[in-house]
Structures are given as structure tokens and as C-alpha cells.
Amino acid sequence: MSHAANVNFYKASSGLKNWLITLDHKRIGILYLYTTLLSFVIGGIFALLVRLELFTPGPTIMSQQNYNRAFTLHGAIMVFWFIIPAVPGILGNFFLPIMIGAKDVAFPKLNLLSYYLLILGMAVNLYGLMAGNGADTGWTFYTPYSIRTGANVVSMVLGVFLMGFSSILTGLNFIATTHTLRCPGMTWFRMPLFVWAIYATAVLQVFATPVIGITLLLLAAERFLGIGFFDPKLGGDPVLFQHFFWFYSHPAVYIMILPGMGIISEVLTTFSQKTIFGYKAVAASSLGLAFVSFLVWGHHMFTSGQSLVANFLFSLFTMATAVPSAVKMFNWVATLYKGSISLKTPMLFALGFLFTFAIGGLTGIFLGALSIDMHFQATYFVVAHFHYVMMGGTVVAFFAGLYYWFPKMTGKMYNEMLGRVNFVLFFIGFNITFMAQFVLGVNGMPRRYYDYLPKYTGWNQVSTVGSWIIALSVIVMLFNFIWSALHGEKAPMNPWNSKGLEWTTQSPPVLENFEHTPTVTAGPYEYGTPVHA
């Protein structure tokens, strides 16, 4: 390998085969990049169709059946094919080893297997979504509807489980890598917060995902052996499925958001040239959120008829998640204090994240309050809230991360002007789209409605117009990335003057990441102070 060690990883070998069976964590990261960005575009097209249908009450562009399929595909693709795998898959794979000074992940072959399990899971999930008349269950597959509609719920859940298994293996790999492959001097408290966030995510993936496997077994037993677990006709309890589903899918929400939070810590420190305020508090709050996320699944079910005690406890624990989330917000804002703030595109997205994630978090407190949830549950208020968290949180952080590390990943600079246009369009479009949905929710419009009363028309039209602005911003972004990767200026080793370890190697990195294994002597955010201060 030594002959190739000093060549950048794109040039180390060539040919499609060398990409498809690569064991290089950076190349696997690039495979995830193509896969998940394509999923994002497909899921986005379904979102645009859903919004277009809702431009007027009654039929607009599609039938009721097709609308139900469209929002099912939008939700399932965005959650399972895009948000869960995107940040760990792309940025975690590419940067976790580099940020701790390793040559690769602990188990490179397992890493490649994880990628193909994702592809297999997507295929099985897609089969379930398309089989028969096409699934119209919503991404939550609630029984007994999902059983009666003739949807192939077993293959849908099998697909989700295979994708989840892929993230278990990725999680194990990241945990092992973080424990065993840190370079000399990289103590736990010198690790970048992105690494902490990916580590916390990995723990969640390993513990939460098996539950979806159990659910799958029970569904299969019900379907093929006639043992009643969920179907009341067989003596089962349909609410039990909701418990199982959310026992996985609520921690999965934190699988989606924690890596994004890690990105924000990296970007804010770099572009304000300040050390992070409260490093240990931010790291601990990642682990705290990961832990408490296992205790709040029942807040999706306050109106399902579950017991009072359950509602009391789930509401209490849900409120508890506000504290570590708020700690992070305060620490990020405090990091800006007396900084040297540069408003490059990654920083614009990171600041935009603070704005939109704050709204997502605060409206989560509304929904956690039991009496308020009696009205807001299953209305557009919920839809707006989780888009503020998932899109305004994770996706905005993901965009920040893509722009931030674009020079390192491609060796080229992106176009700053287009990047800023991208941000402004996205920020305006996003807030128009989902602010309108908060208003619809407050006024009682339920989600998953093909048709609605005429009084809701105005805000639905505002929301739909907003979705077009988001679409435009994504087109600008994709154009920027493709054009810049081909024709951009050559990127220097450290264009942002960052203190992160990944910026001490070439852009793009050499095959084994560093020409010589680095030795770390200070923390990751030692701005404004001499080392060993």
C-alpha cells in the first residue's frame, strides 16, 4: 500500500469495480453521498406533488388513492432512505476516521457490507411500497389499517429492518473505531464534537434498531401463522404496534438529529474562530439526549387511549429532553460571543440552523404538554414541528456540513455566490412552507388530508408556494456542487483556517488519510489561545 499512500484517494485506483468493492471509508462515504442525495431528490419530488395537490381543496392533480400513495412514499423515502443514513453514511464515514487521526474504520469490510445492506433494504422496502396497488399506509404502517389495505407490510418492515441492520453495523464500526483507532494524543476529551455526536448516534443505532426486528417477527408470525398480536380480529391489540413502532422510531429521530448537531459545533467554531463554549456540556448533552430518547416514545400516542400513568410519565420525560437541547442552543450562541465571525455559506446554514431548530424545539414543548397535544396531535402543527426539527434541523445541518467539507471531499472550492443564493432561497422557502402549516394546525386541519374545508385554502396555498422556493434552492445547490466539483478552484489544505485535524491533510486526502500518523497535543477548538495555554 505504501506506493499509493501519498496519492489522493480518487487517484489511488480507477474503474467502476474499484469503487463498488472499495474498502476505503472515504469512497464508501462518496457511495452513500450519491445514494442518499438521489433519495432526497426522489422524496422531494413526492413532497412537491403532495403540496401541489393541496393547492386547492378537492382533486387538483391526482386521485385520492394516488395522494395517499404519494405522501407514503415521501415519508418513507425521506426518513428511511435519506435522513437516517445520510449524515452518518456520508460525513461520518468520510470524516470520523480522519478526525481522530485513523487510517480507516476498524472493520472496512463490514463498512462495505453496511452500504450494500442499505441498498438491499431499500430494494425490499421499495418492493413493499410498490407491490399490489402500492402502499397507502403512511410511513408509520399503523395496524390494523396496514394489514387490511392489502399493503405488503411485511416487506416494508423487512426493508426498514435491513436498512436498520445496516445502521447497526455502521454504528458498531464507529464505536469500535472511536475506541481503538484514535491517534497518539487523541484523548476522549480532545475528540471533536462531531465525533462525539456520531458516537452517541452509533450507540442509539445499536440499541434501538433490534426492536424493529422484533416487530417484524411478530408481524410475520401474525400474517403467516395467524397468531394475533396487532389485529383485533385475531385477539391482538392494534395500539401495541404503535408502541413497537415508536420504540424504534423515536430514538431514530435522535439518530437523525444528533449527527447534525455535531456538524453545527464544527462549523460554528471554525467560522467564529472561537473555542466551543462548554465542550463537556455539549458532549454530555449528546449522550443525555441519546439516553432519554428511549423513554419518550409514548408521546406519539397521547390520544391513543394508553393509560394515564403512561401519559404522565411520557409527558414528563419529553419535557426533560428540552433541557439538554436548550444547553446545546445556549452553548452554540455563547460560542459566537466575541468571535471573529465570517458569513461563508456553511456558517449561514449553521446560523439558519440555530433559528429553525430553535422553533422546532420550542414547538416540541407545546406538543409535550398533554392538554395542548389533545388538540395538536395529528394536525398540521405536528407536521410543521417535525419538519422544523428534521428539515430545519438535520437537513440544514447536513447542507452546512456538505458546504463545509466540500473542499476537503472534492479538492475544489464551491461557488460562494451560488452558495449564498442557495441559503437565502432555502431559508425563505422553508419558513414560508412550514410557518403556514403551524397556522393550519392551530386552526385544526388534520394531517394526511387529501381534501380540506375551504377555510383552509389560503394557508395551504402559501405553503405550496413556499415548497417551490425550496425546490429552486435545492436545484441551485446541486448545480453548485456538480459545477464546482468539475470546474471549481483548487482547494487549499485548510481554506477556513480551522483547527480540526481533518484540515491538516491534503484536499482531497491521501489514501491513508495522512502521510504520517499525526500526534495530537491539544483539543479540537483551540482558537484564540496558544496551544498548551
134 belongs to the binding site for another protein (CB under 8 A): no
Q: How many CB atoms lie within 10 A of CB 532?
A: 7
Residue pair 36/81 in contact (Cβ under 8 Å)? The answer is yes
319 belongs to the binding site for another protein (CB under 8 A): yes
Residue 470 to residue 433: CA distance in whole angstroms: 8
Residue pair 484/406 in contact (Cβ under 8 Å)? The answer is yes
User: What does DSSP assign to residue 391?
Assistant: I
374 belongs to the binding site for another protein (CB under 8 A): yes
Residues 6+ apart with CB under 8 A from 429: 466, 467, 468, 469, 470, 471, 472, 473
424 belongs to the binding site for another protein (CB under 8 A): no
Residue 155 to residue 150: CA distance in whole angstroms: 12
Among residues 108, 134, 210, 238, the one that binds another protein under rule CB under 8 A: 238
Angle (CA) 21 23 28, round 5°: 80
Take residue 365 and report the three cell numbers written for it.
414543548
351 belongs to the binding site for another protein (CB under 8 A): yes
Nearest Cα to 263, choosing from 486, 54, 88?
A: 88
Binding mask of the shown chain, residues 259 to 278, with x at each position contacting another protein by CB under 8 A: -------------xxxxxxx
455 belongs to the binding site for another protein (CB under 8 A): yes
457 belongs to the binding site for another protein (CB under 8 A): yes
136 belongs to the binding site for another protein (CB under 8 A): yes
362 belongs to the binding site for another protein (CB under 8 A): yes
181 belongs to the binding site for another protein (CB under 8 A): no
Q: How many Å is the Cα radius of gyration of the chain?
A: 23
Position 151, amino acid: A
Angle (CA) 143 164 232, round 5°: 15
378 belongs to the binding site for another protein (CB under 8 A): yes
342 belongs to the binding site for another protein (CB under 8 A): yes
179 belongs to the binding site for another protein (CB under 8 A): no
- Our CB check for another protein shows the closer of 110 and 362 to be 362
Total binding residues for another protein by CB under 8 A?
100
Q: Measured from the CB of residue 17, what is the shortest distance to another protein in angstroms? A: 45
Residue 507 to residue 407: CA distance in whole angstroms: 7
The residues in 292-311 that bind another protein, with binding defined as CB under 8 A, are: 303-305, 308, 311
- Our CB check for another protein shows the closer of 111 and 137 to be 137
Task: Report the first-to-last Cα separation within the chain, whole angstroms.
Answer: 39
- Our CB check for another protein shows the closer of 113 and 239 to be 239
Residue pair 345/425 in contact (Cβ under 8 Å)? The answer is no
Q: Measured from the CB of residue 34, what is the shortest distance to another protein in angstroms? A: 33
Where does this chain touch another protein (CB under 8 A) — which range of 38-46, 138-146, 152-160, 383-391?
138-146
The residues in 507-526 that bind another protein, with binding defined as CB under 8 A, are: 526
Where does this chain touch another protein (CB under 8 A) — which range of 14-22, 162-170, 218-226, 336-344?
336-344
148 belongs to the binding site for another protein (CB under 8 A): yes
Residue with cell 439558519: 352
- Our CB check for another protein shows the closer of 18 and 497 to be 497
- Our CB check for another protein shows the closer of 276 and 491 to be 276
